[in-house]
Structure formats: structure tokens, C-alpha cells
């Protein structure tokens, strides 16, 4: 069979392989569309079909459009620095620049995580005024700007806001006139209100076995994730990228240029684009997600291939994209597993972030690394002293297990966690920075924790002991699609007992809560 026949067959399998209400995919080669396919329903109650013209919430794919607009409006983004700093009047020390934000090197804690510290219910309303207020509370960073990578949504909200303010036009109008019209994307638009789509498309949670239900979202997104676009709009975007591939002055080519951290290490994110590797081929792209919405797009310049996948449910778009890409390029041969004699298992702390690290072996001769977010990273076993996956490498050394995360510019020897967690940790702890409380209750042998603040009162969650004065507080759902996962809670003791709790997650590290005297 021909390559196109294989691609058609793989496309036809998607509706069952990634079962859900609806979806749409496109594959392009050399600027021409090989596959343009949609199936299912944009709204199952109204039996509204999902078509290539259906408006879809592309979520964080928005970030590249925000950065493209910034480069279009401000050839030197550093002119935005003062306006950015003005939105964080309490920030002490060095402030991140516009370029730090565009590269996710700002050191800001992600506001979808800190909103949970401030007590937000998971399906609460979060509007523009609340976003401004939460950003304005910022008084510290969780690393020095330019030194590390950390995904942070408000980087791009801030960029969109200050670009629009400088231009004297609203963000939506600028996107339309400076980006969408030029790329031939007629229906793409800013859809800041996540509770509804202009054409009635619905996003769904659930599974085929449990049933699907409309996802509830009430957050307000702008430059971070607010764009809606159809499959045909995204095809136009991919064709525009390919058509300008040899123009070094084009926005996408400028955004795709190699990037580095302050110490010269190679960075894998710049201007709202991830520098990805798909089946061994280097390219640029981004995924997007909110409850009920999952998407991905990427471009592989050496092959001139683009793939777009849009699901209005929670299936994995990256896997689906790889299924399609595999029909066009050879799948790299995987090296055999090393079959390490010593299991990769244990509990640790990462010294730079203070976060709990858990290693769990799997039956497939790999190890699950629980560290950055809710979903574990699966690392393959090579030699007995190494486990590797993506940009993560674990190595056994004389000093202990060293974790290297090249994409994050983070490395260090993991600290083994020992001892038992004592139960005398109950109390109310306060964060001055976020005007938030952490309430810990020790009752009948169980320990529970919850956050509260100006956004509301969070639910009490059972806490999981890790080691001496070290606990995990699960956070499986949040305002955004990607929840913080586990919060690491480290209780600080003095002679009088517990006096503070340092709390953090991958998106928001090392927030100090002092014990209340009340």
C-alpha cells in the first residue's frame, strides 16, 4: 500500500482508538494537505457535528500567537520591561524581562497553581480583575530569571496585556489584523470566556466506560490560552509556516531560533514554542489543554511536515499525532532495556526545588518518576546506572542518584527521605505573600490539609506521609487542565514545635506559611 493509503487508514482508526464525542486532524507535507478529517459531534445533546469549520479552543497553543504578536509590534521586546514590572509592584529584587517571560524563564510561580493556594474552588470563576490582583501579589520568584525553565501561564497573559496597551488597541483586534488575517485564518478569534464557545462547541470530561459530561470551566484566558480556531484555520497556519520557512525575518522563523539560558545551556522553549523531537525528528510545536479540550500542533522543518490534532475530550492528542506521523516517516528502533539489577525505587527530595521525588519500577523494565506534575514521567532503563526519558536522565553516582533535567536546566543529587512523619502538625499557617492560609488538621490518626484565601475555601484533602516532617498533599484538580499534582509540605520545627510549613509544587515552589499565633 502507498504512504497515503496507510495515512488514510490510520486516520480512520482515530475515532475508535481515541474514543470521545468528536475530533479533527490534519497532516500537511510540503505545504500541501494530505489529511483533513473530522468526526463525531461538537455538541452531543444538539447533535451538532464536528467539522473542519468547527471552532475549537486551542488553549496553550495560543502562546505562540501572543509571542508572534509581540515580535510584530515590538522588534525589541525589552521596551516592555517597565510595563511588566509595574504590574508586580510588590516584587523584590531582579524582575523578569519580556524575553524571560516569552521563554518561560521568568521565575514566576504559575497563577493557576497559586490560585489554589488562595482557596479557589476547582470550578470557580476567575476573571480578569482576579488575574490582575493575583499577579500583583507577587513579591518573590522561585528562581532567578533566566536560570531555569518553569511553565508559567501568566507570562503570556502579561505579554499580551502590555503589547496591547503599548499599541493602544485591544488584544483581540491586534490578533485579527496582525496575525490571523495575514495567515488566512478567517474564523480564529480570542475566546477569553472559557465557559462557552461562540459557535456552541462543547468540551467533555469522562471516558467511554463512564460516560461523557460537559466540562465546567469559568476561567478567563487571554494571551496565555484564549484563542479559538477551527481545523481549517490551523491548516492555514501550518501552510503559512511552511511558506515562510526560508524567510529569516518571518515571525515563526524568529520564534523558532535556538535559545539558551543565562549560563549558555541550550533551552528547549522560546517565544511560546517548544523545541520538540517527534519520532527522532526535530521540530517546534505546542500542546493545549483545558477540561474538555486537548490539542497539539507541530512542524518538522527538515521534512516539511505538520500535524494538528484537536479533541473536544480528554484523550491524548500527542499519541494520536505520533500515530499519524509514523505513517510518513520511519519509526526509530528502540534500544533494548538494560534490565537493571538494582530497582529504581524510593523516596527523595530534589534539593533545588525542595519537592518530593518518587521512583517506582514498572513491569516493562522502566521506572516512573513522580516529580513534575500529576502524571509520572516514564524513563527507560539503559545501563544499570542510568534511566532516561525525554529530557530527563537519572544516574547512579558515588554521591547518590543524580537527576538531570536538561530542558529545565535543573540538576542535582537527590536526597533520600528517611524517618516517619509525626502527627503533631495540626494548625493554621499563613502566607504573607498570597494572603492565604493553610489549615492542617490531625484527627484520629489521619492528617488533612486545605488552603483558603481571598478566592475561597478549598476542600480538605487527606495528606500522605513521606518522611520526617515531609508530606504530600494531593491536588488532582484545579482551575486549569493541568493541576499542580502533589504539593510537597515540609514542616519546620523549632524547640517549641512546628513553626512553619514550606509548601510547593512544580509550578509554584517554596512558598512559606508561618504558623499563626491564634
Q: Which of 29, 60, 120, 366 is catalytic?
A: 60
Dihedral angle, C-alpha 180, 481, 455, 458, nearest 10 °: 180
Residue with cell 536538561: 406
Kind of pairing between the strands at 293-300 and 410-413:
unpaired
- Would you call 29 a catalytic residue per the annotation? no
Grid look-up 490531625 returns 442
214 forms beta bridges with 204
C-alpha distances in angstroms, 427 versus 430, 436, 487?
A: 10, 14, 17
Which DSSP letter does residue 130 get? H
Nearest to 153 by CA among 478, 449, 462, 495: 478
Query: 3-state SS of 266-321?
Result: EECEECCEEEEEECCEEEEEEEEEECCEEEEEEEECCCCEEEEEEECCCCCHHHHH
**Rounded CA gap, 321 and 329, in Å?**
12
Q: Which of 63, 106, 256, 482 is catalytic?
A: 63
Task: Kindly write down the DSSP assignment for every residue of 425-446, as one continuous string.
Answer: --EEEEETTTTEEEEEEEETTE
Between helices 154-167 and 62-73, what is the axis angle to 10°? 30
Active site residue 431: no
Residue with cell 501550518: 238
CB-based contact 310:318 (threshold 8 Å): no
Catalogue the active-site residues: 60, 63
Amino acid at each position: 500500500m502507498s504512504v497515503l493509503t496507510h495515512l488514510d487508514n490510520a486516520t480512520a482508526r482515530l475515532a475508535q482508538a481515541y474514543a470521545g464525542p468528536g475530533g479533527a486532524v490534519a497532516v500537511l507535507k510540503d505545504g500541501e494537505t494530505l489529511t483533513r478529517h473530522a468526526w463525531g459531534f461538537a455538541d452531543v445533546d444538539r447533535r451538532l457535528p464536528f467539522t473542519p469549520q468547527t471552532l475549537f479552543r486551542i488553549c496553550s497553543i495560543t502562546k505562540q500567537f501572543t509571542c508572534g504578536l509581540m515580535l510584530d509590534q515590538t522588534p525589541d521586546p525589552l521596551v516592555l520591561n517597565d510595563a511588566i514590572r509595574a504590574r508586580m509592584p510588590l516584587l523584590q529584587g531582579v524582575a523578569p524581562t519580556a524575553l524571560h517571560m516569552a521563554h518561560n524563564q521568568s521565575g514566576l510561580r504559575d497563577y493557576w497553581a497559586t490560585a489554589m493556594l488562595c482557596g479557589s474552588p476547582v470550578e470557580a470563576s476567575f476573571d480578569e480583575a482576579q488575574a490582575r490582583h493575583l499577579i500583583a501579589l507577587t513579591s518573590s520568584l522561585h528562581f532567578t530569571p533566566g536560570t531555569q525553565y518553569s511553565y508559567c501561564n501568566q507570562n503570556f497573559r502579561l505579554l499580551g496585556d502590555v503589547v496591547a496597551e503599548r499599541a493602544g488597541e485591544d488584544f483581540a483586534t491586534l490578533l485579527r489584523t496582525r496575525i490571523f488575517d495575514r495567515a488566512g485564518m478567517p474564523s480564529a478569534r480570542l475566546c477569553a470566556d472559557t465557559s462557552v464557545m461562540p459557535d456552541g462547541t462543547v468540551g467533555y470530561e469522562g471516558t467511554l466506560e463512564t460516560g461523557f459530561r460537559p466540562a465546567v470551566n469559568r476561567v478567563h484566558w487571554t494571551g496565555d490560552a484564549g484563542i479559538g480556531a477551527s481545523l481549517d484555520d490551523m491548516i492555514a497556519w501550518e501552510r503559512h509556516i511552511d511558506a515562510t520557512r526560508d524567510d529569516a525575518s518571518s515571525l515563526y522563523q524568529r520564534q523558532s531560533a535556538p535559545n539558551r539560558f543565562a549560563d549558555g545551556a541550550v533551552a528547549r522553549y522560546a517565544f511560546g514554542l517548544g523545541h520538540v523531537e517527534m519520532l527522532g525528528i526535530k521540530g517546534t510545536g505546542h500542546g493545549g489543554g483545558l477540561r474538555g479540550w486537548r490539542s497539539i500542533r507541530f512542524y518538522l522543518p527538515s521534512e516539511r511536515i505538520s500535524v494538528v490534532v484537536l479533541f473536544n475530550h480528554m484523550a491524548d492528542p500527542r499519541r494520536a499525532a505520533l500515530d499519524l506521523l509514523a505513517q510518513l516517516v520511519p519509526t526509530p528502533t528502540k534500544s533494548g532495556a538494560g534490565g537493571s539489577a538494582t530497582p529504581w525505587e524510593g523516596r527523595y527530595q530534589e534539593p533545588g526545588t525542595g519537592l518530593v521525588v518518587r521512583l517506582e519500577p514498572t513491569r516493562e523494565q522502566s521506572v516512573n518518576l513522580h516529580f513534575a506534575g500529576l502524571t509520572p514521567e516514564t524513563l527507560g532503563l539503559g545501563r544499570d546506572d542510568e534511566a532516561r526519558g525525554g529530557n530527563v536522565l537519572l544516574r547512579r553516582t558515588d554521591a547518590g542518584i543524580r537527576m538531570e533535567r536538561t530542558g529545565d536546566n535543573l540538576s542535582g543529587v537527590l536526597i533520600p527521605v528517611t524517618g516517619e512523619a509525626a502527627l503533631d502538625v495540626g494548625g493554621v499557617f499563613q502566607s504573607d505573600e498570597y494572603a492565604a492560609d493553610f489549615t492542617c488538621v490531625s484527627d484520629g490518626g489521619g492528617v488533612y490539609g486545605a488552603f483558603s484565601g481571598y478566592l475561597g475555601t478549598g476542600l480538605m484533602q487527606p495528606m500522605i506521609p513521606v518522611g520526617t516532617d515531609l508530606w504530600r498533599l494531593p491536588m488532582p484538580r484545579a482551575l486549569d487542565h493541568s493541576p499542580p499534582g502533589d504539593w510537597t509540605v515540609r514542616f519546620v520545627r523549632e524547640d517549641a514545635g512546628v513553626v512553619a510549613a514550606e509548601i510547593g509544587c512544580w509550578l509554584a515552589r517554596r512558598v512559606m506559611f508561618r504558623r499563626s499565633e491564634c
